């Protein structure tokens, strides 16, 4: 794997973003006219990300031994309207386990997957089934905030450690759970960073915010709205599964914003963006990590060209070795949360290799964990939050998601 310094990569990305911000004050030529005043700045993409030289890798030292029944599970969406985000995660987990097992003939960790469809109302069944299987000693998941909220107590009662690579509602770590760990920053960090990105980097003077009815969308909308302050010119609510956004779009067009921020997932964000553009909206369309997926571009088509994203996740596709290994394994590039899933699995696998092979021991291992992953340093506070999270910016460029760099600093 790459063994370069993370500090250099972050500094380079931040420098590019700062330069972009300065250049944007007089941006011309490639900018796109907004629907109110000003224009969308042309922000250059960052083409490579450097990883920590001391990153813990799933292969370990190759000396691991464990019972043949030792099992890690993924619990989360494999099907459903936002399934791709779950698929990205369990592919990352699968890659980590495959690399571990290839390097450790004496410890062949099993992998089980349980489909929740990303639905809080359906998640309790798969979680109850998984926690009842004694061989499962650690879990990666659940991906979404609503299903995490609905099932956290089940994990807690059984003492089963689980690391979510993607659920970002801040309230999840305020339930007193000792088995829940978040592998990325939460929306209390992402919301203010998104607001700063909209007003400082994209130069939006007027922002309209639309939220869905998920725990994730509601929580993120609150923290983003607060950060936007007087730049927020209107808000509206939509529902999961909604297809016709004409009423919301009418409100948006009347408000004449420079940018629209959608707090929710790509399944609804894509048709909203399409319908907005068809009504003449030419400003920036900004979504969070729940929107940042190639499926958004596929579903939104040309309406995605002025789209930007925020995410407390780093792009696995720009980590050369990881990207090649992932692509070779799955015939697809890493997606949002692929590397977070990989890192979460690596934390569990490294504990197993150190002999932490009961639920109690593996939970204690994660609680005291303090090491670099490929994406970030992984060390949690007593509530299960990362001690040093970062939020990053992305844009659609040439029909693909391009990385901008750290935002909100």
- Cβ atoms of 83 and 243 within 8 Å: the answer is no
In angstroms, the CA 188 to CA 223 distance is 6
Residues near 167 by Cβ (< 8 Å), separated by ≥ 6?
142, 143, 144, 145, 147, 148, 182, 216
Asked if residue 53 is part of any domain, the answer here is no
Asked if residue 257 is part of any domain, the answer here is yes
Same-domain pairing of 400 and 293:
yes
Asked if residue 55 is part of any domain, the answer here is no
Same-domain pairing of 173 and 97:
yes
Q: How confident is the model at residue 25 (pLDDT cuts 50, 70, 90)?
A: very low
Asked if residue 59 is part of any domain, the answer here is no
Same-domain pairing of 207 and 276:
yes
Residues near 80 by Cβ (< 8 Å), separated by ≥ 6?
86, 117, 118, 119
- Cβ atoms of 37 and 205 within 8 Å: the answer is yes
Same-domain pairing of 142 and 196:
no
Burial of 69 (0-12, 13-18, 19+ CB in 10 A): middle
Same-domain pairing of 247 and 194:
yes
**Tokens standing for 140?**
């990666």
Least confident of 119-123, 146-150, 403-407: 403-407
Same-domain pairing of 398 and 325:
no
Same-domain pairing of 181 and 275:
no
Cα 41 from chain centre: 24
Decide: helix, strand or coil at residue 15: helix
Asked if residue 56 is part of any domain, the answer here is no
Over residues 239-276, the pLDDT tens digits come to 999 999 999 999 999 999 999 999 999 999 999 999 99
Same-domain pairing of 304 and 348:
no
Strand-pair category, 180-182 with 232-237: unpaired
Least confident of 10-14, 85-89, 281-285, 383-387: 10-14
Q: Does 289 score more than 90 pLDDT?
A: yes
Asked if residue 103 is part of any domain, the answer here is yes
Least confident of 38-47, 172-181, 396-405: 38-47
**pTM recorded for the entire structure:** 0.81
Over residues 294-330, the pLDDT tens digits come to 999 999 999 999 999 999 998 888 888 999 999 999 9
Helices and strands counted in the chain (H then E): 12, 16
Q: How many domains does the chain have?
A: 2
Same-domain pairing of 359 and 213:
no
Asked if residue 66 is part of any domain, the answer here is no
Which pLDDT score is estimated for 18? 34
Q: Does 8 score more than 60 pLDDT?
A: no
Same-domain pairing of 110 and 223:
no
The chain-wide mean pLDDT, for the chain, equals 90
Same-domain pairing of 286 and 401:
yes
Structural domain including 106 reads 71-185+319-379
Same-domain pairing of 396 and 260:
yes
Over residues 347-406, the pLDDT tens digits come to 999 999 999 999 999 999 999 999 999 999 999 999 999 998 899 999 999 999 999 999
- Cβ atoms of 308 and 286 within 8 Å: the answer is yes
In angstroms, the CA 65 to CA 253 distance is 62
Which pLDDT score is estimated for 50? 77
Asked if residue 52 is part of any domain, the answer here is no
The DSSP line for 143-179 is: -SHHHHHHHHHHHHHHT-EEEESS---GGGGGS--SS
CATH of the domain at 238: 3.40.50.2300
């Amino acid at each position: 794997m790459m063994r370069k310094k993370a500090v250099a990569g972050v500094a380079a990305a931040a420098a590019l973003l700062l330069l972009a911000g300065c250049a944007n004050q007089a941006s011309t030529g490639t900018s796109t006219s907004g629907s109110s005043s000003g224009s969308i700045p042309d922000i250059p993409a960052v083409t490579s990300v450097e990883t920590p030289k001391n990153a813990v890798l799933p292969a370990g030292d190759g000396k691991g031994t464990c019972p043949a029944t030792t099992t890690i599970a993924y619990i989360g969406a494999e099907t459903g309207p936002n399934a791709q985000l779950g698929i990205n995660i369990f592919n990352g987990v699968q890659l980590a386990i495959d690399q571990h097992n290839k390097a450790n003939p004496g410890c062949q960790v099993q992998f089980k997957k349980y489909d929740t469809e990303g639905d809080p109302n359906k998640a309790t069944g798969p979680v109850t089934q998984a926690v009842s299987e004694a061989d499962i000693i650690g879990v990666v998941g659940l991906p979404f905030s609503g299903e995490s909220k609905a099932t956290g107590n089940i994990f807690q009662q059984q003492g089963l450690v689980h690391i979510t690579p993607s659920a970002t509602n801040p309230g999840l770590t305020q339930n007193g759970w000792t088995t829940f760990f978040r592998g990325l920053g939460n929306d209390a960090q992402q919301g203010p960073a998104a607001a700063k990105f909209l007003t400082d980097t994209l130069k939006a003077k007027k922002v309209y915010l639309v939220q869905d009815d998920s725990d994730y969308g509601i929580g993120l909308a609150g923290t983003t709205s607060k950060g936007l302050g007087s730049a927020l010119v209107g808000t509206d609510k939509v529902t999961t599964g909604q297809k016709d956004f004409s009423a919301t779009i009418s409100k948006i067009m009347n408000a004449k914003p420079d940018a629209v921020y959608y707090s929710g997932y790509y399944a609804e964000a894509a048709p909203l963006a399409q319908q907005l553009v068809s009504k003449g909206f030419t400003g920036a369309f900004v979504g969070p990590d729940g929107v940042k997926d190639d499926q958004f571009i596929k579903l939104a088509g040309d309406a995605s060209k002025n789209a930007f994203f925020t995410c407390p996740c780093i792009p696995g596709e720009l980590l050369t070795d990881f990207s090649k290994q992932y692509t070779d394994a799955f015939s697809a590039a890493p997606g949002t949360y692929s590397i977070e899933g990989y890192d979460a699995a690596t934390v569990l696998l490294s504990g197993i290799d150190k002999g932490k092979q009961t639920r109690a021991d593996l939970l204690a291992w994660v609680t005291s964990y303090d090491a670099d992953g490929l994406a970030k340093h992984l060390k949690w506070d007593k509530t299960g939050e990362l001690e040093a999270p970062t939020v990053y910016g992305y844009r659609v460029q040439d029909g693909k998601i391009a990385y901008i760099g750290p935002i909100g600093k």
